[in-house]
């Protein structure tokens, strides 16, 4: 059997197969993408080729266009023998057991011994898939169920059988976790596994309840959305996204494999309206629309409409105002105790779904954390079902079910007087089936700051930042502000970290900059600029810029290694702090950019300076360094991934990328220790020869030829001034400090312009740049 996954084959180039191939390529692993040969096709690889073309369209499943070069198109008839070079063959064809069986026999005839074979089936039990296959095939076979869209959905359900080779299971678990970035949840071989079993039940329960109680689709989506920690799509908008025509296919597959006594079989139904919509082509977003659709008014404007669940007629969609939700706020219990149709709907859907969740433990998975993980990673729920039960309270739930003469799951009875999760002695513990608690165990190489915060006190803390001891002499700087915006308290904590660590030869070896929020940092606190501009205190702005420059400059030249570990967005000042660290270990989904132009400004905390230094040091000079940086900053471009950030120059070629978000802190800490062990030395300040007035004139020609607003032209010309050596054109080698001084001067000059204030106020009010 293989000891590592070096090459992969994917059979089936449809939506899921092609996306899985893209994610494997994102991990840097070559992929062979195969499909059938269409009748009368002149190009026998046409299906796979067209799939790759679709993958290139935005939003692309590829993290960078170069990843597409790792995907080789082919067809089953001509190229199946090539899988002999593959370590893993994944099947993603139609959910038809016979078609799958035929493919498996062909694969078994040409694969090398030990090659792992898996299916992406969403509902068919493993035992049914290997029923007529060879014993050798059964030993190497498993189900690897990905979720759509593959790049962004973290869940991977891994289903194995009693015959599956244990070494192969561990290899796949490790590869899908570390290389593909998935949260791997091992499941027993039961119908629908976790997420689709419970997710389909939840959707069916909500459809039934909405139609029985007379809710509009907007009301149902509103109640089943944010109040329950579920994405804004709620129920009906989610079905539109999935596809109405796919729902009965998954439902019938579950019905065919679940025992007739299962609760899902009892509540399953296909309303007449549902069937009529599919017949008329209203299959969701991929069709003419679904429960929601878009039409055009007489003036040509786009109009969002929704269907009336009673009459089947469409009308303009209206966002509902629901007093019951306003009264309940975030208290689910108050919502479920409301006696109107909204409260009845919430209670019916939650009580049915949460009690059904008990049927998965231990039949499908051994504990509640895996059920919760499945729904959070597979359906993007903020809280898993057992976390929702803790919000309601086990005793309250038991009493309500008992009052309605409904059966009470045995495990729920065990939770009486308890919670499913608790914190004890600084550790999160979960309730087991016998009523006792056990600590949650993290996988090797997984480190969560949230765990460290439960079991320890910060080394230092102020109102905006904290320093944490993450072990082995490494400190972690965490931002604590809203959207992790940067302020003087954070700058003070940077200086404090530098003072504590010193030259890295004492108790502390280095620093990681990391947090577990959705955004690494939204940049500077724009409110500081707005208030200072309005009061005419431009000296305060200059001081604030210089304070940020001083903190970042001190970090860059500190005598110890610092590693930024961004995930999500790192914008403006958030991007600039990464540019001043010794190295970056980024989560693969990292959007980084110098976006100051959108608020009428330029980077002021050394962003222009550091990007210029990197551009001049880059061996690839096919684009002049000043032009490259000018284009990047004036476009306010944000990277689409960490791989894209490398290509744009925000990250170095030597910087690391973690595919799994849960491994980011561990990987960043390991990078600090690696640099420290290698005898880290602070970098030497550089100086570069800038093009001066001639370079500025060349950039101004580009500016004048573009379609920019008057204020954008002003900003671009001032940026050109910075990048080319200042107003008078600095002669000779220009130092980092000289460039930063020029950044500061131009930044303050822009703040004095009314157009910049207007952009800043619009961003603070609307949360997005002002359009020209």
**Across 87-107, average pLDDT:** 96
Q: What is the pLDDT of residue 731?
A: 63
Tell me: the pLDDT tens digits for 162-220?
999 999 999 999 999 999 999 999 999 999 999 999 999 999 999 999 999 999 999 99
Whether the CB-CB separation of 703 and 718 falls below 8 Å is answered with no
Tell me: the pLDDT tens digits for 433-481?
999 999 999 999 999 999 999 999 999 999 999 999 999 999 999 999 9
User: Could you tell me which of 302, 285, 286 has the C-alpha nearest to residue 294?
Assistant: 302
Tell me: the pLDDT tens digits for 14-66?
999 999 999 999 999 999 999 999 999 999 999 999 999 999 999 999 999 99
Per DSSP, which regions of 88-168 are E strands?
88-91, 116-119, 141-146, 155-159
- When pLDDT is cut at 50, 70 and 90, the band that residue 705 belongs to is confident
Q: What is the pLDDT of residue 708?
A: 85
Whether the CB-CB separation of 240 and 277 falls below 8 Å is answered with no
In this predicted structure, the answer to whether residue 114 has a pLDDT above a threshold of 80 is yes
In this predicted structure, the answer to whether residue 692 has a pLDDT above a threshold of 90 is no
Whether the CB-CB separation of 10 and 17 falls below 8 Å is answered with yes
Whether the CB-CB separation of 513 and 491 falls below 8 Å is answered with no
> Among residues of the chain, what percentage have pLDDT more than 90?
91
In this predicted structure, the answer to whether residue 519 has a pLDDT above a threshold of 60 is yes
- When pLDDT is cut at 50, 70 and 90, the band that residue 608 belongs to is very high
Element (H, E) at 441: none
Total-model pTM: 0.95
In this predicted structure, the answer to whether residue 727 has a pLDDT above a threshold of 90 is no
Other beta carbons within 10 Å of 244: 22
**Across 499-522, average pLDDT:** 97
DSSP string for residues in 556-608:
HT-SS-EEE---EEEETHHHHHHHTSSEEEEESSEEEE--GGGGT----SSHH
- When pLDDT is cut at 50, 70 and 90, the band that residue 623 belongs to is confident
Q: What is the pLDDT of residue 2?
A: 76
In this predicted structure, the answer to whether residue 299 has a pLDDT above a threshold of 90 is no
Tell me: the pLDDT tens digits for 401-446?
999 999 999 999 999 999 999 999 999 999 999 999 999 999 999 9
- Taking the C-alpha atoms of residue 149 and residue 551, their distance in angstroms, rounded to an integer, is 40
Q: Which DSSP state fits 59?
A: S
- Taking the C-alpha atoms of residue 677 and residue 293, their distance in angstroms, rounded to an integer, is 59
Q: Is 400 strand, coil or helix?
A: helix
């Amino acid at each position: 059997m293989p000891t590592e996954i070096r090459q992969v084959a994917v059979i089936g180039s449809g939506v899921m197969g092609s996306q899985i191939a893209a994610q494997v390529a994102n991990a840097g692993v070559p992929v062979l993408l195969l499909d059938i040969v269409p009748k009368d096709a002149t190009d026998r690889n046409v299906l796979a080729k067209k799939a790759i073309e679709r993958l290139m369209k935005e939003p692309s499943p590829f993290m960078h266009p170069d990843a597409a070069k790792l995907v080789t198109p082919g067809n089953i008839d001509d190229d199946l023998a090539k899988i002999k070079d593959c370590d893993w063959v994944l099947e993603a064809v139609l959910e038809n057991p016979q078609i799958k069986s035929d493919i498996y026999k062909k694969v078994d005839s040409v694969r090398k011994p030990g090659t792992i074979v898996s299916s992406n089936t969403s509902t068919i039990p493993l035992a049914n898939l290997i029923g007529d296959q060879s014993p050798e095939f059964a030993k190497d076979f498993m189900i690897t169920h990905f979720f759509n869209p593959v790049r962004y959905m973290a869940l991977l359900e891994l289903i194995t059988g009693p015959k599956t080779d244990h070494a192969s299971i561990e290899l796949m678990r490790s590869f899908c976790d570390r290389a593909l970035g998935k949260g791997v949840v091992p499941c027993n071989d039961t119908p629908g596994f976790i997420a689709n079993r419970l997710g389909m039940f939840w959707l069916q329960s909500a459809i039934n309840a909405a139609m029985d109680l007379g809710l509009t689709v907007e009301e149902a989506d509103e109640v089943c959305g944010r109040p329950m920690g579920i994405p804004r799509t709620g129920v009906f908008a989610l079905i539109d996204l999935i596809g109405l025509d796919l729902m009965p296919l998954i439902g019938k597959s579950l019905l065919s494999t679940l025992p007739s006594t299962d609760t899902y079989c009892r509540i399953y139904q296909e309303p007449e309206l549902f069937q009529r919509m599919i017949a008329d082509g209203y299959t969701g977003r991929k069709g003419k629309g679904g429960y929601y659709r878009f039409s055009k008014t007489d003036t040509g404007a786009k109009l969002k409409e929704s269907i009336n669940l009673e009459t089947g007629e469409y009308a303009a969609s209206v966002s509902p105002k629901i007093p019951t939700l306003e009264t309940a706020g975030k208290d689910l219990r108050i919502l479920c105790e409301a006696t109107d149709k909204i409260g009845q709907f919430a209670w019916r859907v939650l009580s049915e779904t949460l009690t059904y969740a008990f049927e998965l433990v231990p039949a499908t998975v051994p504990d509640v954390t895996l059920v919760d993980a499945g729904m959070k990673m597979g359906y993007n729920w903020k809280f898993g079902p057992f976390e929702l039960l803790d919000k309601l309270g086990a005793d309250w739930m038991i009493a309500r079910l008992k009052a309605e003469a409904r059966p009470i799951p045995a495990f729920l009875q065990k939770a009486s007087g308890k919670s499913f999760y608790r914190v004890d002695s600084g550790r999160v513990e979960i309730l087991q089936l016998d009523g006792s608690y056990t600590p949650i165990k993290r996988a090797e190489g997984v480190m969560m700051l949230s765990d460290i915060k439960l079991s320890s006190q910060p080394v230092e803390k102020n109102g905006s930042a904290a320093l944490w001891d993450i072990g082995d002499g490494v400190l972690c700087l965490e931002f604590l502000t809203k959207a992790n915006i940067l302020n003087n308290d954070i700058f003070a904590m940077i200086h404090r970290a530098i003072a504590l660590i010193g030259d890295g030869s004492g108790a502390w070896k280095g620093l990681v900059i990391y947090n577990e929020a959705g955004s690494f940092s939204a940049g500077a606190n724009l409110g500081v600029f707005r208030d200072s501009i309005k009061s005419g205190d431009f000296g305060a702005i200059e001081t604030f810029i210089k304070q940020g420059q001083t903190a970042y400059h001190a970090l860059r030249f500190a005598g110890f290694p610092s590693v930024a570990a961004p995930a999500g967005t790192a914008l403006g000042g958030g991007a600039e702090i990464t540019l001043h660290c010794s190295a970056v270990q980024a989560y693969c989904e990292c959007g980084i950019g110098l976006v100051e132009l959108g608020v009428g400004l330029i980077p002021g905390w050394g962003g222009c300076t550091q990007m210029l230094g990197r551009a001049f040091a880059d061996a690839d000079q096919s684009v002049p360094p000043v032009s490259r940086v000018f284009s990047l900053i004036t476009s306010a471009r944000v990277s689409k991934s960490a791989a894209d950030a490398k290509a744009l120059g925000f990250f170095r070629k030597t910087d690391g990328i973690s595919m799994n978000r849960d491994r980011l802190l561990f990987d960043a800490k390991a990078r600090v220790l690696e640099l420290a062990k290698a005898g880290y030395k602070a970098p030497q300040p550089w100086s570069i020869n800038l093009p001066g007035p001639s370079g500025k004139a060349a950039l101004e020609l580009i500016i004048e030829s573009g379609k920019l607003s008057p204020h954008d032209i002003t900003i671009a010309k001032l940026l050109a001034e910075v990048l080319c050596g200042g107003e008078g054109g600095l002669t000779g080698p220009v130092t980092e400090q000289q460039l930063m001084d020029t950044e500061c001067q131009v930044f303050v000059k822009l703040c004095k312009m009314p157009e910049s204030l207007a952009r800043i106020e619009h961003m603070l009010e609307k949360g997005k740049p002002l359009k020209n």
